[in-house]
């Protein structure tokens, strides 16, 4: 039985995809990237995905996993971040299956990154509760307990002192306010300390593009919980989405 699947990561500015060996997590093809269509409508994004898949080697018959910036419940996108509001309440599984003419399974983008870390990365042998956080335009979170995903956690929107703390601690806030690493890390300290108090995790994993500069801020944090950078970096969404598709196609 083939252990391959296509993983696609839809973001507010870019759409990335590749063929993945879901047993090892290794990318078996070039990772293609297309700009996210302006407005991010369902039809425009489906058209972009069709073009991306055409460029992949031997995509026929492979299941497609798609991670998306939304709460996703049973294949329905319940929210939308940095894309069209047409996605809210849309059966995304059905839309993509019709447009791409193959088996498709959609999940939240942070959940996909969490799965990649649980199966192939920093959480692969970790017992107990792991909180994966992605620091970027916003803050995405995934909860992994004994290797199993608890889907659709929205802890990036944790309210601290009356503020949706994503607006203060996301990497976009550092860039927008021109904060130093030390200034931004002070905000991260507040955020991660609040997560510790709520959930008492066994491990924090930090992903997102800024994780490649983890040595600039992780050593400055003073937490009870170990905190490490994500292992899979920018390919995590693709890997986790592919794993999700294969798992739900063969179960």
* Residues 60 and 154 reside in one and the same domain: no
In a domain? residue 171: yes
70 and 102 inside one domain: yes
Residues 147 and 163 placed together within one structural domain of the fold: yes
Note whether residue 58 is domain-resident.
yes
220, 181 Cβ separation under 8 angstroms: yes
**pLDDT at residue 251 in the model:** 52
Residues 152 and 101 in one domain: no
In a domain, 188, yes or no: yes
Q: Are residues 60 and 8 in the same domain?
A: yes
Answer yes or no: are the C-beta atoms of 25 and 244 closer than 8 Å.
no
Determine, yes or no, domain membership for 141. Answer: yes
- Whether 99 and 129 share a structural domain: no
CATH number, residue 83 = 3.30.420.40
pTM passes above 0.85? yes
Same domain, 65 and 130: no
Is residue 45 assigned to a domain? yes
Instruction: List Cβ neighbours of 38 (8 Å cut-off, separation of 6 or more).
Output: 44
Residues of the domain holding 29: 4-109+235-250
* Same-domain pairing of 131 and 96: no
Residues 89 and 27 in one domain: yes
E strand residue ranges, the chain: 4-10, 14-21, 32-35, 64-68, 72-73, 76-77, 90-91, 104-108, 129-135, 139-145, 148-150, 159-160, 163-164, 203-207, 227-229
Residue 11 pLDDT: 86
The answer to the question of residue 65 being in a domain is yes
Angstrom distance (rounded) from CA 55 to CA 65: 16
- The pLDDT averaged over each successive group of 10 residues in the chain (251 residues) is 88 92 96 95 96 95 94 94 90 97 95 96 94 92 96 93 96 96 98 98 94 96 97 90 91 52
How far is it, in rounded angstroms, from Cα 150 to Cα 145? 7
Determine which helix (DSSP H) or strand (DSSP E) holds 112, and give its type and residue range.
helix 109-120
**Any idea which residue has 């620091």 for tokens?**
135
Of 89, 91, 92, 69, residue with least CA distance to 80: 69
Tell me, yes or no, whether 88 and 130 share the same domain.
no
pLDDT, position 250: 62
Looking at the structure, do residues 172 and 102 belong to the same domain, yes or no?
Answer: no
Quick one: pLDDT at residue 1? 44
Q: Are 132 and 199 in contact (CB under 8 A)?
A: no
Residues 239 and 225 in one domain: no
What are the tokens at 110? 């942070």
In a domain, 92, yes or no: yes
Domain contains 114: no
Question: How many domains does the chain fold into?
Answer: 2
């Amino acid at each position: 039985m083939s252990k391959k699947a296509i993983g696609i990561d839809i973001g507010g500015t870019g759409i990335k995809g590749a063929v993945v060996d879901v047993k090892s997590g290794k990318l078996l093809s070039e990772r293609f990237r297309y700009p996210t269509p302006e407005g991010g409508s369902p039809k425009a994004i489906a058209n972009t995905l069709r073009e991306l898949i055409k460029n992949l080697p031997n995509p026929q018959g492979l299941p497609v996993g798609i991670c998306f910036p939304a709460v996703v419940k049973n294949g329905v996108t319940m929210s939308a971040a940095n894309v069209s509001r047409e996605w809210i309440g849309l059966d995304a599984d059905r839309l993509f299956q019709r447009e791409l003419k193959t088996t498709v399974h959609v999940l939240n983008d942070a959940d996909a990154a969490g799965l990649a870390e649980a199966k192939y990365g920093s959480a692969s042998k970790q017992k107990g509760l792991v909180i994966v956080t992605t620091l970027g335009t916003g803050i995405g979170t995934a909860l992994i307990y004994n290797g199993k995903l608890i889907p659709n956690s929205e802890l990036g929107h944790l309210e601290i002192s009356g503020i949706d703390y994503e607006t203060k601690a996301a990497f976009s806030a550092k860039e927008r306010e021109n904060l130093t690493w030390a200034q931004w890390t002070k905000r991260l300290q507040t955020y991660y300390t609040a997560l510790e108090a709520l959930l008492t995790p066994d491990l924090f994993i930090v992903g997102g593009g800024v994780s490649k500069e983890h040595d600039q801020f992780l050593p400055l944090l003073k937490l009870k919980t170990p905190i490490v950078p994500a292992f899979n970096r920018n390919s995590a969404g693709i890997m986790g989405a592919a794993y999700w598709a294969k798992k739900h196609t063969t179960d």
